[in-house]
Amino acid sequence: MQFKSIDELEIQGKRLLIRVDFNVPMDENGVITDDARIQATLPTIKYALKQNAKIILTSHLGRPKGAPESKYSLRPVARRLSELLKKEVKLAPDCIGPEVGKMVAAMHPADVILLENLRFHKEEEKNDPAFAKNLASLAEIYINDAFAVSHRAHASVEAVTKYFKEPAAGFLMKEELHYLNKIMVNPARPLAAIIGGGKVSGKLEVLKNLSLRVDKLIIGGGMAFTFLKSAGIEVGKSLVEDELLTTAQEVLESAKKRGVKVYLPIDCVVADRFDPTAQIKVTPVQEIPKDWMGLDIGPATTTLFGEALQNINTILWNGPMGVFEMAPFSRGTFEMVRHIINSGAVSVVGGGDTDLAVHRSGEAQRISYISTAGGAFLELLEGKNLPGVEALKK
């Protein structure tokens, strides 16, 4: 992908409008419970500070209905960012308008302002050109460091770029695209994709696209039971999308025609109900009791999947292998982390649940790259062009 990054531009003393993703989780008291998305933007912000740029950050938070709502204010984010940067980050009263203009005009080199929630204006999600022009008027240079929202044609992501000569990527965006390029464009082969999670329907296009690109396809999680049932295996009360049984079979047949090796669970951890205190046991997938449900891959499957990764050079993983939030059904997912690390392959992990699982395993630092994105990550794996990325191309 041809685009410029922040370190290729002359930004010394310039006003930078940096689109970030500060859509962080908060508790009912407005306390940030996970600041990973803020931390992820620090390299870009700190680089701009060293260049004495005037930094204007802009983000959304939550789903306000096109009007200000105090619970969606970015004030807690400004406080946390001030702590991380060890310097004051002023929160603007809005993201556009005369008051914001005055604050920007009064900025000194290495000042940082965080604009208030973009989605307090309905024009943001409508990709309104007039709103985008107002945002653009605040700065001389535009930087997109928010890959996680780049699948949305929103004003601060797509329309705003039309008002800058050379819109560019921040370091987080650059790194995301670098690693995803390793998978989707020029992977070191053999390439394996591990796809899990609950439903086939949410990842059908991903599975179809990846089956055209990978050398091995490993399917786990709840979605595996739809594939198993499509092969004529009775899976008890396990999660199955009956309307997609034919489609699942078509995915398997398409992969087979291309010579892609597909791996499905051969055993699983089953329970008599969806509860961490349920009665559980391990059984071959052909012997799941009629009134029981599969909630994790079993030990034989874990070994099989691990062996399948031994001669792999690049691994993509999206979706846990079981209900890892419940301790009795977490082993398969955590064991998969270990197998990925032990393979020695370049490993790229994406998707909120998978990200969380890897961090809970305590081995996150040993994964090559963990994407900060959810929807954008999946859409790129589907083979779609992302508006925010396309807007940065030369």
pLDDT tens string 305-321: 999 999 999 999 999 99
Catalytic residue among 37, 152, 213, 229: 37
pTM metric for this prediction: 0.87
Considering the candidates 198, 352, 374, 383, report the single residue annotated as catalytic. Answer: 352
* Nearest partner of 312 among 276, 341, 281, judged by Cα: 341
Candidates 199, 261, 338, 366; catalytic one: 199
Class of the CATH domain delimited by 178-381: alpha beta
Question: Who's near 365: CB < 8 A, 6+ residues apart?
Answer: none
> Which pLDDT tens digit goes with each residue over 161-177?
999 999 999 999 999 98
Amino acid at 366: R
- The residue behind tokens 């940065």 is 392
Give counts: helices (H), strands (E), the chain: 13, 15
Q: Which CATH superfamily is domain 6-170 in?
A: Phosphoglycerate kinase, N-terminal domain (3.40.50.1260)
Contact between 204 and 180 under an 8 Å Cβ cutoff? The reply is no
Distance CA 293, CA 273 (A): 7
Cα–Cα distance between 101 and 92 in angstroms, integer? 10
366: annotated active-site residue: no
Q: Are 113 and 104 in contact (CB under 8 A)?
A: yes
Q: Which of these is catalytic: 198, 374, 375, 383?
A: 375
What residue spans define the domains of the chain?
Answer: 6-170, 178-381
Mean pLDDT over each residue of the chain, to the nearest integer: 94
Does the annotation count 258 as an active-site position?
no
What lies within 8 Å, CB to CB, of 217 at 6+ separation is: 192, 193, 195, 207, 210, 211, 255, 260, 261, 262, 263
Same CATH fold, 178-381 and 6-170? Answer: yes
Beta strand 112-114 pairing with 89-91: parallel
- Does 64 sit behind a cis peptide bond, omega within 30 degrees of 0 on the bond before it? no
pLDDT 10s per residue in the chain (394 long)? 578 999 999 999 999 999 999 999 999 888 999 898 999 999 999 999 999 999 999 999 999 989 999 999 999 999 999 999 999 999 999 999 999 999 999 999 999 999 999 999 999 999 999 999 999 999 999 999 999 999 999 999 999 999 999 999 999 999 998 888 888 888 899 999 999 998 899 898 999 999 889 999 999 999 999 999 999 999 999 999 999 999 999 999 999 999 999 999 999 999 999 999 999 999 999 999 999 999 999 999 999 999 999 999 999 999 999 999 999 999 999 999 999 999 999 999 987 688 888 988 888 899 999 987 878 888 888 888 899 999 998 5
